[in-house]
Amino acid sequence: MSNIKKNNIWAIAGGKGGVGKSFFTSNLSVELAQRGHTVVLIDADFGGPNLHTFFGLNSSKISISDFVKSAQLQLDDILLPTGFPNLKLASGAHDVLDMANPNLIQQNKLRKAIRTLKADYILIDLGAGTSYYTLDLFLMADKSVLVTAPEPTSVENTYRFIKSAIYRKLKSVIRHPEVKAYLEKVTDSKNEDNPRTPAMLVSEINRINPQAGETLKYELANFSPKLVINQVRTPSDVRIGFSMRQACSKYFGVNLGYAGFIEHDAAALQSIRIRQPVLLYAPDTISSQCIVKVAQNIRQNYHLVPSA
């Protein structure tokens, strides 16, 4: 086992479905495993778990829902071999109607268990949307990754996810009663007089209580999710990542790291159809090369910069 920090938890999210989040996550796990790292893949999309299909596996008889409901099972007990060395999978909930919205006790149990897993890397594939369950798993990670597509609806939903994650994070760290009440008021209502961006919100809170304002500034400065753009076809698609990085800095006060992009590739679509990660099905294709590069950038905390 390689000598890296235990519980290197990466959470991968998407503002909406269909952007290739699970495709990227499954291949990212393979890339890390191929380097000799032990990897545990958590399918935390309780609304529509499908990671097992990317590995050619049938739906498991035991899953995360069994773990969170059982007083005896450990998370290790439900880990399944994927057929690939160093890589195990915790299958998503099979009783979807019961588990689409896990209760607080179940959420806390899962988060605690994830932190105690013994693996070099733990990848959490999150469902679409901005439920507290999804946001809390995203925020607990050592590295948080957002996958989007270059279409306007995908980009808009990614901004919405980032904004929701920021508000969830700020609510969790504020203890000052007046500021806490103000946060609840402005984030849970649609009043047009409310601050329109997180940066404006922090400025207003700084006016109410400078100490709380400094706390929020610190939290925002340390919130630095990574961005991956999937299904890139043109240079203008690539540039969307730079525009999003700039907008997040200006309006949210957040350092969004543009980790890279994955070019559109027929081999990627074919790999999904045959239920095999593209890194194994077609390792020399452009999509595989892009995934390897993006994985390297995430590991090394490197982000793309626009050419002069």
CA dist., res. 205 & res. 83, Å (int): 52
Residues 49-63 pLDDT 10s: 788 888 888 776 788
Which pLDDT belongs to residue 281?
92
The share of the chain scoring above pLDDT 90, in percent, equals 51
pLDDT for 162 beyond 70:
yes
- Which CATH class, in words, describes the domain spanning 8-165+220-299? alpha beta
Tell me the torsion sign for CA atoms 140, 143, 147, 148. positive
Name 307's Cβ contacts closer than 8 Å, sequence gap at least 6.
Answer: none
Burial of 272 (0-12, 13-18, 19+ CB in 10 A): middle
CA dist., res. 274 & res. 272, Å (int): 6
Spans of all domains in the chain: 8-165+220-299
Nearest Cα to Cα of residue 267 among 251, 255, 279: 279
Residues 235-294 pLDDT 10s: 999 999 999 999 999 888 889 999 999 999 999 999 999 999 999 999 999 999 999 999
Residue type, 117: L
Local structure of 147: helix, strand or coil: strand
